[in-house]
Structure 1
Amino acid sequence: MSALKSLFKQTFIYGLATVLPRMLSFLLVPLYTTQGVLSSVAEYGKVSVIFSYFVLFNVILAYGMETAFFRFFNKETDKDRVVGTATISLFISSFAFFILALLFQDQIAVFIQIDVKYINLVIWILLLDALVIIPFAWFRAMAQPMRYAIIKILNVAINLGLNLFFLLALKDLAVNNSVFDTIYQPNFEVFYIFIANLVSSAVTLLLVLSFYVKLKYSFDARLWKTMIRYAFPILIAGVAFSINETFDRILLDRLLPPDIAETEIGMYSACYKIALFMTLFSTAYRLGIEPFFFSHANTKNPQKNYAKILEFFVAFGSVILLSVVVFADVLKPYIVRSEAYWEAMWVVPIILLANFCLGIYHNLSVWYKITDRTKFGAYISIIGAIITLAINIIFIKTYSYKASAIATLVAYAIMMVLSYYFGKKYYPIPYNLKKIGLYLCLSVGMSVLSFYYFRENYIFGISMLIVFLGIVLFSEKNELKQILNKNKIVK
C-alpha cells in the first residue's frame, strides 16, 4: 500500500472520529437555536463567549506539547522516555493551573465578566481535557485510529445526550414529577450546558486511564528542556491561532453596546456554524497528515508526496466550499432553527473561505515542523493575530460581526501566503500552483456569484457545481485511478 493510500485510510478514520462527533455536537446548534430552549439569542451569545475562553485556555494548557510529542516520538529511539516526559510535564502543569484557578476564581470571574458558577465548571473541564492530550496523541502515534475514534465519539454522544436531557426532557419531567422538579431550575440552561460538558470530559478521562496505568513514569529533564524549546513557538502560534479563531466573540462582547452585544454574538456564532463543514474537513485532514509528515520526513523525496497532498486538499476543499455556498439557504433551517439568527447569514461564504485558507496553511506548515523552525509558525500566527485584532478593534463598532468575519478571512489568507513564501525558501516543495490556483479561483469566483448575485437560484448554483466537479474529476482522473488501483502515485 502506498504512503498516500495509507494516509487516506488514516485520514478517513480520523475524519470519522472528528466528523461524527462534530456532527453529533452539530445537533446542539439547532437545539440551542430552537425558540424556547434558551431564553433568547443573547443567551446563546453568552455560551459562545465562554466557549471562546475555552479555546484559548485549552491551547495554553497544552503549550505545544502534543506537537512536540509527535516530533520526538518519531525522532528518539527511547519512545517510553518521550511518552513519560511529556505526560508528567502536562500532569504537573495541569494540576498547578487547576489549584491556582480555583484559588482565584472570584477574581477571574470579575476580570472576564462571567458568573463565578460558570468559571468553577470551566476550570474542572479544562483540567479533565488537559489530562487526555497525551493519551490521544499516543493513540495517533501508535496508529490506533479506531480506539481514538470510539472514545471521541462517545465523548460527544454523552455530551449531546445530557444536553437533550437537561434542556428538553428534564423540563417536561419536572412538570409531572416532584423529584425532577427539585433538579430542574428555570434560567439554569447555560449552567446545564456546562454540566453536560463536565460529565462527558470526566467519562473520557476514565476511558483513557489504562494509558496512565501502563505508562512507564520516566522523566528526562534534558529531553524535557529540548521538547519545551520546540513546543514554545507552537504555544505562541496556538495562542495566536485561538485569537484568530474565537477572540472576535470576546471583542464583540467588549466593544459593542451592552444591550446588543450578546445578541449580535449569538447571531454571528450560530451562522458561523454553517461553515463547520469546511472546518470538519480541514481538521480531519490535519489529524491524518501531522503524523504522516513526521514519519515520512526521512523517506526518499517526501516533497513530491507533500505536494500531491496539498493538491488533493485544495481540490476536495474547493468542492466543499462551492457546495455549502450553493445550498446554504437550504441548510440554514435545519442548522439554525430560529429566524432570529438568520440576519448573520452574510458571513457564511466569508467564514467558509477563511477556514479553507486555514486548511491550506496547515498543509503548507509542514516545512517549519520538519525543519524544526517552529518559530516561523509562531511569527506567522502572531502576524495573523495582530491583523485579526486590528481589523476587529477598528471596525467592530461600525460593522459589528461583519468586520469579525472579514478579519478572519484576511488573517488566514495572509498566513497562508506567508507560509508558502518562507517554505519556498527553507524547504522547497514542488506544488502545482497552476492547478491549485485554478481550483481556488474557480471555486471562489463561482461561490461569490452564487451567493451574492444569484442567491437561491439553484439552477445557476447547481450548474456551477456540476461544471466545477467535471473540471476536478478531469484534472485528477489519472491520480484517482492510481489510488483506486492501489498503485503508488510517487515512485
Structure 2
Amino acid sequence: MSIAKRLASQTAIYGVSSIVGRVLNTLLVPVYTGRFAAAQYGIVTGLYAYVSFLNVLFTYGMETTYFRFANRPGTDRQDLYNRVMTLLLISSAVLTLGLALLARPLMSLLALPPGHERYAVWIAAILGLDALAAIPFARLRLENKARKFAAIRLANILLNVGLNLFFIVLCPDVLAGKYLSGLRPLVEMVYDPTVGVGYVFLSNLAASGFTLLLLGRELLDIRLRLRLEPLRPLLKYAYPIMLMGLAGMVNETLDRILLPRWLPQGFYPGQSNLAAVGVYGACYKISILMSLVIQAFRYAAEPFFFAQSTDKNSPRTFALVLKWFTLCCAMLFVGVSVNVDLVAKVFLQRPEYLQGLRVVPVLLLANLFLGVYWNLSVWFKLTDKTYYGTYLGFAGAVLTVALNFLLIPVLGYMGSALATLACYFMMAALCWWLGERHFPVPYPVTRLLLWLAVAVGVVALSWLVPVAEGWPRYGFHALLTLGFVGLVAAVEGRRLRTI
C-alpha cells in the first residue's frame, strides 16, 4: 500500500472514534442548550476550560515522548512502556488527590456559590482516569491497532452520550410525567434533580472508568519500574512538550476563563457574564467541527511522521500531506461558515445562544491554522528541538492574553475569537519560518494562502450579500459552497490523480 493510501486508511479508521464519536458528543450541545440556560451551560464551559489545562499537567507530554523513544533503534518497547506507566500511575494519584483537596478554591475561581465542590472532585477523578488511559492508547497507535483503538474510543463516547441523555433528558421528562410514567419509581431511585449540570461530569466520569476496563489487557501488561536514571531522558524530552501544551491550552481555552472576568458588567443587555460564557462556549462547539478532523488526522499522522523520518523523500511527503490537509479543511471551513444558519438550527436550541453566531467563522479559521501549525511542527519533533515548540506556544500565549485584555472590553466574545485567530496564524507563520532554517520542506505556501484567501472571500460574500430569508438564502449558500468545492476539484483534481 502506498504511503498516501496507508495514511488515509489509518486516518479513516481513527476517524470512526474521533470524528464519528466526537460528533455524537458534539450533538449533545442541542441537549445542553435546550435543557440548560446560558448561565448554567457557562458552568460546564468554564470548568471544562480548566480541565483542558489540567489534562496537560496530568500527562506532561508523555504520549509524544513515548512515540519518540519507542521509534529509536534498539529501544526495548516493553521496558519503556513499564517505566512511563509507572511514572504516570504515581503522578496521577498525587495530582488527583491534590485537586480533590483544592475543590473549594477551584470553585471560587468561577465565582460559583458553595455546594458545587463535588464538581471539582468528579473532575479530578476524570483527569486521573484519563491520564492512566493515555499511554495504553498510545501503545495501540504505535502497534497500528487502529481498530481496537477506535472501538474503545467509540464505546467511551457512546456511554457518555447515553448517560447524558438518560440523566438530562429521560429522567426529568419521566418525573414530569411526559412519558414512560411506569419508570418513575426507578428514576426516583437513581436520579437527583439537584445535581443538575453535574450529570454532565458524572457521565464523563463513568465513561472514563469504563474505558480503563476495556484497556484491561494493556494495563495488566504493566510491570512497575521506578528507577530515576532511565527516566531522566524521558522527562528532559517531555517537559518542553508539557510547557508547549500548557501554552497551547492558554491559546485554546483561556478566553473562556478570562471572559467573565474582563467582560464589563452589562456588556450584553439582560445577560450575565457567566451567561455570555455559555453563549460563547455553545458557539465554540460548532467550530470544533474543524477540530474533529484535525484530531482524527493527528492520531494517524503522529506515528506516521515519526516512522517516515528516516525516508529520504520525507520532506516531499510532508509537503504533500500539508497541502491536502489544508485544502480539505478549507472546504470544511466554507461549508460550515456559509451554512451556519442551518447548522445553528441543530446546535442552538434557545434564542439566547444565537447572538454569538458571528464568532463561528472566525473560530473555524483559527482552528484551521491550528491544524496547519500542528503539521508544520513536525520539524522540531523530528530534530529533537522541542524547545522551539515551547517558545512558539508561549509567544502565542502572550499574544492571546494581550489581545483578550485589549479586545474583550471592546468587542466581547468576538474579541476572544479574533485573539484566537491571530494567535494561531502567528504560530503557524513562525513555525514555517523557523522550519525553513532547520528542516526545509517544500511546502506550497503561496498556493495554499491563495486558496485560503478565496475561501475567506466566499464566506464574506455569503455574510455580506443580502438575500431573502428562507429557501432563496439557503439556495444561494449551497451554490457558494458547491462552487468552492468544484473549483478546488477542477484545479487540484488532476494533480491528485497524478500523485
TM-score, length-scaled by structure 2: 0.92
- Structure 2 partner of 1:445: 457
Matched, 1:350 2:362: yes
Would you say the 8 A contact 2:60–2:241 is kept in 1? Answer: yes
Matched, 1:331 2:322: no
Would you say the 8 A contact 1:314–1:439 is kept in 2? Answer: no
> Alpha-carbon deviations, 1:424-450, whole Å to 9, x = none?
110000112232122211111211221
How far is 1:43 from its partner?
0.4
Amino acid at match of 1:144: K
Matched, 1:200 2:198: no
- Structure 2 partner of 1:485: none
- Structure 1 partner of 2:14: 14
Matched, 1:477 2:478: no
Deviates more, 1:330-339 or 1:356-365: 330-339
- Structure 1 partner of 2:77: 79
How far is 1:220 from its partner?
5.3
Secondary structure of 2:197's counterpart equals helix
Q: 1:212 aligns with which of 198, 209, 219?
A: 219
Amino acid at match of 1:370: L
Would you say the 8 A contact 1:81–1:220 is kept in 2? Answer: no
Q: 1:109 aligns with which of 91, 107, 110?
A: 107
- Structure 2 partner of 1:169: 170
Secondary structure of 2:355's counterpart equals helix
| Structure-2 change in CA distance of 1:468 and 1:207 (3 Å) | same
| Structure-2 change in CA distance of 1:101 and 1:272 (3 Å) | closer
Would you say the 8 A contact 2:396–2:426 is kept in 1? Answer: yes
How far is 1:454 from its partner?
4.8
Q: 1:430 aligns with which of 429, 433, 442?
A: 442
How far is 1:94 from its partner?
0.4
Would you say the 8 A contact 1:95–1:127 is kept in 2? Answer: yes
How far is 1:453 from its partner?
3.7
CA distance, structure 2, for counterparts of residue 179 and residue 307 of structure 1:
58
- Structure 2 partner of 1:291: 303
CA distance, structure 2, for counterparts of residue 131 and residue 183 of structure 1:
28
- Structure 2 partner of 1:46: 43
Secondary structure of 1:332's counterpart equals helix
- Structure 2 partner of 1:468: 484
Matched, 1:238 2:250: no
Secondary structure of 2:248's counterpart equals helix
Give matches, 1:244-255, under 5 Å: 244-255=251-262
Would you say the 8 A contact 1:87–1:134 is kept in 2? Answer: yes
> Alpha-carbon deviations, 1:435-476, whole Å to 9, x = none?
212221111121122124457634543333333223322333
| Structure-2 change in CA distance of 1:110 and 1:42 (3 Å) | closer
CA distance, structure 1, for counterparts of residue 59 and residue 474 of structure 2:
45
Would you say the 8 A contact 1:163–1:193 is kept in 2? Answer: yes
- Structure 1 partner of 2:121: 120
Amino acid at match of 1:22: R
Deviates more, 1:386-395 or 1:170-179: 170-179
CA distance, structure 2, for counterparts of residue 338 and residue 132 of structure 1:
36
- Structure 1 partner of 2:89: 91
- Structure 2 partner of 1:66: 63
| Structure-2 change in CA distance of 1:96 and 1:353 (3 Å) | same
- Please, what is the CA RMSD of the aligned residues? 1.8
Amino acid at match of 1:32: Y
Secondary structure of 2:144's counterpart equals coil
How far is 1:135 from its partner?
0.5
**Percent of pairs identical after alignment?**
35
Would you say the 8 A contact 2:46–2:110 is kept in 1? Answer: no
Would you say the 8 A contact 1:365–1:419 is kept in 2? Answer: yes
Amino acid at match of 1:20: V
- Structure 2 partner of 1:486: none
TM-score, length-scaled by structure 1: 0.94
CA distance, structure 2, for counterparts of residue 182 and residue 254 of structure 1:
39
Matched, 1:4 2:1: no
Would you say the 8 A contact 1:454–1:460 is kept in 2? Answer: no
How far is 1:330 from its partner?
1.1
| Structure-2 change in CA distance of 1:223 and 1:299 (3 Å) | farther
Amino acid at match of 1:47: V
> Alpha-carbon deviations, 1:289-314, whole Å to 9, x = none?
11111011011221000000001011
> Alpha-carbon deviations, 1:51-86, whole Å to 9, x = none?
111111001111111111111111142111221111
CA distance, structure 2, for counterparts of residue 222 and residue 5 of structure 1:
41
| Structure-2 change in CA distance of 1:321 and 1:179 (3 Å) | closer
Matched, 1:384 2:396: yes
Would you say the 8 A contact 1:326–1:458 is kept in 2? Answer: no
| Structure-2 change in CA distance of 1:314 and 1:407 (3 Å) | same
Amino acid at match of 1:30: P
Structure 1 unaligned regions, length at least 5: 483-488
Matched, 1:26 2:21: no
> Alpha-carbon deviations, 1:204-229, whole Å to 9, x = none?
11111211212344455333211111
Amino acid at match of 1:26: T
> Alpha-carbon deviations, 1:163-198, whole Å to 9, x = none?
111012112333553453354333422111111111
How far is 1:111 from its partner?
4.6
Q: 1:274 aligns with which of 279, 283, 286?
A: 286
Would you say the 8 A contact 1:396–1:403 is kept in 2? Answer: yes
CA distance, structure 2, for counterparts of residue 47 and residue 102 of structure 1:
18
Secondary structure of 1:128's counterpart equals helix
How far is 1:159 from its partner?
0.7
Secondary structure of 1:300's counterpart equals coil
- Structure 2 partner of 1:56: 53
| Structure-2 change in CA distance of 1:342 and 1:215 (3 Å) | same
- Structure 2 partner of 1:155: 156
| Structure-2 change in CA distance of 1:50 and 1:343 (3 Å) | same
